[in-house]
Chains A and B, each alone.
Chain A
Amino acid sequence: MIPRQVRVKKIFWETEDVFTLELVSEDYPMSEFYFRPGQFNMLYAFGVGEAAISISSDSAKKNSILHSIHKVGYVTNALSKLKKGDVIGIRGPFGKAWPLEEIKGYDICIMAGGIGLAPLRPSIYYILKHRKQYGKFTLLYGARSPRDMLYPVELEQWAKKHDIHIETIVDRADSMWRGQVGVVTELIDYAELDPERTRSMVCGPEIMMKYSIDELKKNGLNEDQIYLSLERNMKCALGFCGHCQYGPSFVCKEGPVFNFSKVKDIFEIREL
């Protein structure tokens, strides 16, 4: 599969090491890039390579797509140096989406850690847009420090203007931080979960997801009420290259979003 060219409409920094690319296409109708919340694209920096990056914009937004990218490897480093008007390659969207249809009618509890909020943001947009079709909506978000918090302005706006209960927490505070200090699992009591009525979506570092899932289970959620999004090395995103294998699954095809019941037996096996 050959990448298609898209142009950088805007690049801006969310935190010290996370930036967002807004991409538009002149050669293809934007409808070719429609995605479902939770899916990802392979972004290609000319001459450098590709990286799998989840889409972080509103899936109802028709004229551009956004990717929030953690600058951490050589491809994302190259992408971070782009300027408005530059062209990159894109393949996708790939992968399974968050189960936004199946979980209609339920209370929603999202638990996100660090950059893990990026793949969940399209779901938040979706739920807020279809707010009446869901029950109580809670977002628990943890970051390393206040400066590492993604989308702080938006978080505030959501909390003010929409029917969503947001709690945030940081590992290490700075002198300006007036919020809570600790890990995201400590926020779970605020959610006042009604276990039977709740469906949860979790994304963040694997260790954060492990403890979040433990906490959700302690609060009475069954394994099949929890969804998570996994990260693995991906080269092709087509199920051919083998790199993203996770037990019997190819994360690119059967993931990145999994129902926890599908991976519960292997989730805690180290180096699987």
Chain B
Amino acid sequence: MKTISKDSLDKIIGYLKYKGYKVIGPSVRDGAIIYDEISCIEDLPAGWGDEQEAGHYRLRKRNDGALFGYAAGPQSWKKFLFPGKLKLWEAEKNSKGFEITPANGQFPKYAFIGVRSCELHAVFIQDKVFNNGMFSDTYYNKIRKNIFIAAVNCAEAGKTCFCVSMKTGPKAEEGYDIALTEIINQDEHYFVVDEGTPKGSELMEQIESLTSTEEQLAAADDALKNAESNMGRTLETDGIKSLLYKNHANTVWDQIAKRCLSCANCTMVCPTCFCSNVEDVTDLSGDHTERWRTWDSCFNLDYSKVAGGNFRTSIKARYRQWMTHKLASWIDQFGISGCVGCGRCITWCPVGIDITKEVSNIRKSLKN
């Protein structure tokens, strides 16, 4: 383990840029922490934290100048690997019929700064989705292959966090090039750095660092323990697959449906939701057409529509599909739960529907 000063993080960003990476990190925008291109340490949300609850998100000023003193915001890294809108191909009418040209593939080389452990797990999950054994998604895999990941361990947990329940955090255990733990005390602000790959070590060779002292390691450990013991939520995962499979007719779904607006927010903020639609867009001449892939959601009415009817017209069925997929059928499909416990779906639900609470409501309904 190595220790670097706060300012050395700026050098890390600089080095990654020099190496040709498009560096992406957290920034404050429109009253939230979002992920976008950053060029220096000043772009990071220094001194910003957040307060989160079901249906509630506010930034709040911290008094310690922490660069990563916030919990997961509305965006996740999936927007870079699996963009919300992606042109797949275009076609032009010609004398033979039409000619299709694949979209001019640009595959940026990204460096992600500030990936939380839960988010890292979300990437691992989408790795399985977009390489499903039969087919692999070109765009996702080309980007994925080249990303540099600087994980940041959580020193605090948000009120809607439950990574401990999902066994996805708060400590980043694998899959990163470097992992940072931010330590702030009365007179110091530094990072303890773990090198996860040769790529990460190569970077660290360029950065001024010291071998971490026992004290610093203990501080990093304490930070993680603090996050671990302050999870805002818990989700009881024991036997969850059969619980949901067996309870498709539970009245809890009716109760949720009364509140759910079917707005799809939960699926948009979810770092693992992967559903997409394709849209064919034709110009006015009718000779040129483009196919775009866009994020879709199982909450949209059209999602299950076939020409002869619709398989899920009720909101109840759509919510049930989402939650059962996330926590149960995902396990059958990919051998892993689709939930990483980041809590985004709880925070960003406009009516505050809480996935952890609904699971416990189903459990409670069986006891009565």
Contact = CB atoms under 8 A, between A and B. Distances in A.
B253 to A, nearest CB: 10
Interface string B120-143: 000000000110101101000000
Contacts of B332: 248
Nearest to B99: A5
A238 B311 contact: no
B277 A241 contact: yes
A236 B276 contact: yes
Given A46-B93, A47-B289, A250-B333, A242 B100 contact: no
B329 interface: yes
Given A87-B98, A245-B321, A271-B312, A233 B248 contact: no
Nearest to A253: B134
B134 A87 contact: no
Interface in A219-257: 231-233, 235-236, 238-243, 245, 247-248, 250, 253
A242 B248 CA distance: 20
A263 to B, nearest CB: 13
Contacts of A50: 278
Most buried by A among B130, B298, B306: B306
B278 A271 contact: no
A14 B209 CA distance: 77
A242 B89 CA distance: 20
A89 B304 contact: no
A67 B134 CA distance: 24
A86 B97 contact: yes
Interface in B72-123: 88-89, 91, 93, 96-98, 100, 102
Nearest to B314: A271
Interface in A134-167: none
A86 B96 CA distance: 9
Majority-rule SS of B interface residues: mixed
A272 interface: yes
A241 B308 contact: no
A176 interface: no
B280 A240 contact: no
Interface string A254-269: 0000000000010001
Given A232-B304, A245-B325, A5 B276 contact: no
B275 interface: yes
Contacts of A265: 245
Contact of A245 (B135, B286, B317, B329): B329
A148 B89 CA distance: 38
Most buried by A among B248, B274, B316: B248
Contact of B333 (A231, A233, A248): A248
A48 B93 CA distance: 13
Contacts of B102: 2
A241 B97 contact: no
The 6 nearest A-B residue pairs measured at CB = A87-B97, A73-B307, A242-B275, A271-B317, A248-B332, A47-B282
30 contacts: A2-B102, A3-B100, A5-B96, A46-B289, A47-B286, A73-B308, A74-B307, A87-B97, A231-B306, A233-B304, A233-B311, A235-B277, A235-B278, A235-B296, A238-B137, A239-B135, A240-B129, A240-B137, A241-B277, A242-B275, A245-B321, A245-B325, A247-B245, A247-B329, A248-B328, A248-B329, A250-B333, A272-B312, A272-B317, A272-B321
Interface of A: 1-3, 5, 7, 46-51, 70, 72-76, 86-89, 231-233, 235-236, 238-243, 245, 247-248, 250, 253, 265, 269-272
